[in-house]
Amino acid sequence: MAQEQVFITVIGKDQKGIIARISNAVFAHNINIEDLNQKIMGGYFVMTMLADTTDSPVTITQLKKELSVIEDEMGLKIQVQHENIFKTMHRV
Amino acid sequence: MEYSLEEVMETVRMTLYHNFDIRTVTLGINLKDCINSDLDIFKENVYTRVSGYGRRLILEARKLEDKYGIPITNKRISVTPVSLIIEACAEPDAPLEIAKTLDKASKDVGIDFIGGYGALVQKGMTRADERLIGSLPEVLSSTERVCAFLNVASTVSGMNMDAVIRLGKTLKEIASKTRNGIGCARFVVFANAPEDNPFMAGAFHGVGEPDFSLNIGISGPGVVRSVVEKNRSCNLTELSEVIKRTTFKITRAGELIGRELSRNLSVPFGIVDISLASTTKVGDSVAGIVEMMGVEKMGAPGSTAALALLIDAVKKGGAMASGNVGGLSGTFIPVSEDSCMNEAVRLGALSIEKLEALTAVCSVGLDMIAIPGDTPAETISAIIADELAIGVVNSKTTGVRLVPVPGKIKGDYVNFGGLLGETYVMDISAFSSHDFIMRGGRMPGPVTGMRN
């Protein structure tokens, strides 16, 4: 099966447990974290997580729904986007 | 990581904060093989074809919205120019019946606009063309989603002034039958109409097209405005480079989504239209980009040069990003659909004459402009002729979408609602063009059209 990778990106106020909660959510669906970057940009916590969903039974839509609970509870903006969009826009 | 955090966040920010979207995916559908001299069978064929593909288009487009996290704002259909397919039906109400069928099929599956109710009459009108033009007031006042067009001029054929005369009257009639003249917002008159334009109201599936063709309209005035804002101190050469790079990125996203959608629908991929298209949202404005470049208000001296620089950079970035650039690929400057344009009209910074000048360097023409309801039909025809002459002489597309708002005079406020926005009625010259327009005939094409 072709490798299916998605970027999970988070923007919001820095607080305890952001990475822990998102990691737990993706682990629960057999999604492997391939890479992770985080930074404070302009006073905001910003994180990008590259995750491999090849072995996961959930679709991007289902994963988004699940993460939207964390989004609401922690006051964050969480996006899930297939890696191809970044490849297309940023690599010639 | 293969991508830096900044690169990933650039894409994310475009959608979250700068209104980046795929403005439209428009499926072109050939209806010629639906033709039947029995009107009921014909209608059934059209309904089945349009609703079947419309349903799949919406389903597959939604899947990609989720996959890539980029909204696809409009899912639309364009069809073969209807004047061609009604030729075999002698029933007087055949045009209206087909329009209603297109409207119902779209409504039943959730397609918001369906384009192609129109004709190509730049050199003359067939009986079917005449019937179609005659049906426009009734069609646009009794349907909700059908969009109409007429191509009345081209660089090769010149301008059909008899059709232009008729359109002045037709527009007034459409306006009188619909609230605030809103029916006119679904009708575009063109010179050099492209056969693969995905944007409404002027989209149609041309006769040179295959059975199906998926065309994409990308957008992103908000994204371009934001990069111009970040580069306040650079000179215009550098600014052009910055805009080019940004347009490259958003066009690539459009190309990716278009190709994948056409694959999933098993239809050929047509074109990416790289036009910047405003929406009524604050910040998603083409005029806003021009103002961010340093022109105080759209319409002030410098606006035409700024717009020319913008569209040139957009084209160069887009052409590098996609081998299938097509459609209009200019820059839309609709008045009511663009909050900054509208404000410029309110303040008196932007006149219809300056708008005409602006269209010489972009495309699409005089778009979504409210004019006084008592403007004489011949004056409306003359405004159309002026705008289309720019397209004819410069070998480019220009269009006109004017709304003569019944009962309103210059300066009055009009709200068209929703995507069509709001505006102020523009001042139109009180001097008459009657004798010129009423000469009729066909204005010859320019010598630049003789290329063979």
Assign B3 a pLDDT band (cuts: 50, 70, 90): confident
Q: Please give the structure tokens belonging to residue B304.
A: 């035409």
Cα B314 to chain centroid distance, Å, stands at 17
- C-alpha distance from residue B150 to each of A82, B103, B123, B154, B443 (Å): 41, 19, 12, 12, 17
Name the residue with tokens 């056409």. Answer: B262
Dihedral pair phi/psi, residue B22, rounded to 5°: -85, 115
Q: What is the pLDDT of residues B329-360, one digit of tens each?
A: 988 899 999 999 999 999 999 999 999 999 99
CA-CA-CA-CA dihedral for B59, B62, B66, B70, to nearest 10: 150
Task: Supply the range of the domain harboring residue A51.
Answer: 5-90
Residues of B in contact with A82 (CB under 8 A): 67-69
Residues of A in contact with B244 (CB under 8 A): none
Element (H, E) at B66: helix B39-68
Q: What is the pLDDT of residues B118-137, one digit of tens each?
A: 999 999 999 999 999 999 99
Q: What is the pLDDT of residues B187-245, one digit of tens each?
A: 999 999 999 999 999 999 999 999 999 999 988 899 999 999 999 999 999 999 999 99
Rounded Cα–Cα distance for residues B343 and B40 (Å): 49
Dihedral pair phi/psi, residue B363, rounded to 5°: -160, -170
Rounded Cα–Cα distance for residues B372 and B375 (Å): 6
Dihedral pair phi/psi, residue B93, rounded to 5°: -95, 10
Total domains in the fold of chain A: 1
Q: How confident is the prediction for chain B on average, in pLDDT?
A: 95
Over the Cα atoms of chain A, what is R_g?
13
Rounded Cα–Cα distance for residues B149 and B140 (Å): 11
CB contact under 8 A, A11 and B16: yes
Q: Least CA distance to A5: which residue of chain B?
A: B67
Residues of B in contact with A77 (CB under 8 A): 16
CATH ID of B21-191, from 3.40.190.10, 3.20.70.20, 3.30.360.10, 3.90.1300.10: 3.20.70.20
* Partner A, chain B 400-429, Cβ-Cβ below 8 Å: none
In CATH, B219-449 is 3.30.365.10: no
Assign A1 a pLDDT band (cuts: 50, 70, 90): very low
The whole-number average pLDDT for the span A53-73 is 92
Rounded Cα–Cα distance for residues A75 and B17 (Å): 16
Q: Please give the structure tokens belonging to residue B158.
A: 């010149």
Rounded Cα–Cα distance for residues B210 and B380 (Å): 36
Omega of the bond prior to B193 within 30 degrees of 0, cis?
A: no
Rounded Cα–Cα distance for residues B368 and B370 (Å): 7
Say whether pLDDT at A21 is over 80: yes
Rounded Cα–Cα distance for residues A47 and A32 (Å): 16
Residue B420 is given by DSSP the state: G
Q: How far apart are the first and last CA of chain B?
A: 55
Over the Cα atoms of chain B, what is R_g?
21
Residue B139 three-state SS: helix
Q: What is the pLDDT of residues B45-102, one digit of tens each?
A: 999 999 999 999 999 999 999 999 999 999 999 999 999 999 999 999 999 999 999 9
- Would residue A55 be called left, alpha or beta, if left means φ above 0 and alpha means ψ between -120 and 50 degrees? alpha
Domain regions of chain B by residue span: 21-191, 219-449
Cα B14 to chain centroid distance, Å, stands at 24
- Counts of helices then strands in chain B (DSSP H, E): 14, 13
Q: How many residues does chain B have?
A: 452
pLDDT of residue B132: 97
A23 touching B, CB under 8 A? no
pLDDT of residue B1: 58
Assign B279 a pLDDT band (cuts: 50, 70, 90): confident
Burial B65-89, CB ≥16 within 10 A → b, else e: bbbbbbebbbbbbbbbbbbbbbeeb
Q: Within a 10 A sphere around the Cβ of B379, how many other Cβ atoms?
A: 22
Omega of the bond prior to B61 within 30 degrees of 0, cis?
A: no
Cα–Cα nearest to B12, from A54, A7, A42? A7
Residue A26 three-state SS: helix
ipTM of the complex: 0.90
Element (H, E) at A23: helix A18-28
CATH, residue A64: 3.30.70.260
B12 touching A, CB under 8 A? yes
Give me the helices (H) in B69-126, please: 82-85, 94-109
Nearest chain B Cα distance for residue A89, angstroms: 5
Nearest chain A Cα distance for residue B5, angstroms: 6
Measured at the alpha carbon of residue B122, what is the angle toward residues B433 and B89, in degrees to the nearest 5?
A: 120
CB contact under 8 A, B70 and A85: yes
Size of interface A-B (CB pairs under 8 A): 70
